[in-house]
Amino acid sequence: MRQKIVAGNWKMNTTPAEGVGLLKGVAELKKEVCACVRLIVAPPYTHLCPVAEAAKGTGIALSSQDCATEAKGAYTGEVSASMIASLGVEYVILGHSERRQYYGETSDTLNKKMAQAFSNDLAPIYCVGEKLEERETNRHFDVVRAQLEEVIFNLTSEQFSKVVIAYEPVWAIGTGKTATSDQAQEMHAFIRKVLAEKFGDAAQETSILYGGSCKPSNAAELFAKPDVDGGLIGGASLVAEDFIAIAKSFAK
Ligand code: PEP
């Protein structure tokens, strides 16, 4: 049985105090969610410490939204994977399209970040997804395959067993446009097939999340698809009730 996951990417939103409030709101409502679903929240770096403290004993796991390519040293403004892990954070989002698009992250950058994540026992939530123009010119499968081959194929089998994949079509992120459940299923099945080429049956165990304008009104249909194991949620993760409503799409 693959782990079902609903992860909230708070991006650059909330103050630390608001973040703690949001975590508490999610924790309060968590009892309504099937115990089969792993809830993860990814606050900004500045919030990780107080949110980790507030999350103790709630069963909600923490993720950072990124980590540095290097272990330590003269890298002003960067935050290392070891600093993040020292707070009890378990996951790190890597390769989010906003990082690829606005901060020029390449596969080369992401291979370094992967190495840092694994050296510090952080499980990567690795994001892949095509831009609108790539889908319109029928290149979406090639783009996603390259994003997997250039980074995930460099992992050992043991490392691969810890990876979560998030398929996030760039044209659906923050736009209100969701991929249809059939489009999501088609790509998720493709991703699993590509992963199986390298890692064999282990790909059957990989949780593949959908991300891109996922909300309470469309989550159930998306999550009902056989290769959709949950969601990476942006905007809707900023309201505890919405985030929980999405997670409740998995029946108890
Ligand atoms: C995201 O950025 O990971 C995301 C899925 O955002 P949104 O849900 O707001 O589209």
Instruction: Assess whether pLDDT exceeds 90 at residue 115.
Output: yes
**Residue 232 beta carbon below 6 angstroms from any ligand 1 atom:** yes
Task: Please report, rounded to a whole number, the percentage of residues in the chain having pLDDT higher than 90.
Answer: 96
CA of 73 to the centre of ligand 1 (A): 32
Summarize the confidence of residues 79-100 as an average pLDDT. Answer: 98
Here the tokens at position 104 are 């020029």
Instruction: Assess whether pLDDT exceeds 90 at residue 175.
Output: no
Q: Is the CB of residue 79 less than 8 Å from the CB of residue 67?
A: yes
Active site residue 168: yes
CA of 1 to the centre of ligand 1 (A): 26
**CA 234 to CA 172: how far, in whole Å?**
11
Domains and CATH numbers, the chain: 4-247 (3.20.20.70)
The H-assigned helical ranges of the chain are 16-29, 48-55, 81-85, 97-102, 107-119, 132-136, 140-149, 157-160, 181-199, 216-223, 240-247
**CA 150 to CA 111: how far, in whole Å?**
8
State the sign of the Cα–Cα–Cα–Cα dihedral 164, 170, 172, 174.
positive
Residue 173 gets which letter from DSSP? T
Task: Please report, rounded to a whole number, the percentage of residues in the chain having pLDDT higher than 70.
Answer: 100
Closest ligand 1 atom to 213 CA: 10
What mean pLDDT is reported for the chain? 97
- The per-residue pLDDT for 206 is 98
Summarize the confidence of residues 182-196 as an average pLDDT. Answer: 98
Q: Could you tell me which of 211, 204, 193 has the C-alpha nearest to residue 1?
A: 204
**Residue 33 beta carbon below 6 angstroms from any ligand 1 atom:** no
pLDDT digits (tens, 9 = 90+) for 34-83: 999 999 999 999 999 999 999 999 999 999 999 999 999 999 999 999 99
Q: Which CA distances in Å does 85 have to 10, 151, 245? A: 18, 21, 29
- The per-residue pLDDT for 2 is 96
CA of 94 to the centre of ligand 1 (A): 14
**CA 8 to CA 144: how far, in whole Å?**
22
Cα 202 to chain centroid, rounded: 19
**What are the φ/ψ torsions at residue 112 (nearest 5 degrees)?**
-70, -40
Q: Which residues pair with 42 in a beta bridge?
A: 9
Q: Which residue has the higher pLDDT, 1 or 188?
A: 188
Here the tokens at position 23 are 């975590």
Q: Could you tell me which of 168, 24, 47, 39 has the C-alpha nearest to residue 91?
A: 39
Closest ligand 1 atom to 97 CA: 2
**CA 29 to CA 225: how far, in whole Å?**
25
pLDDT digits (tens, 9 = 90+) for 207-234: 999 999 999 999 999 999 999 999 999 9
pTM value > 0.95: yes
Active site residue 140: no
Instruction: Assess whether pLDDT exceeds 90 at residue 252.
Output: no
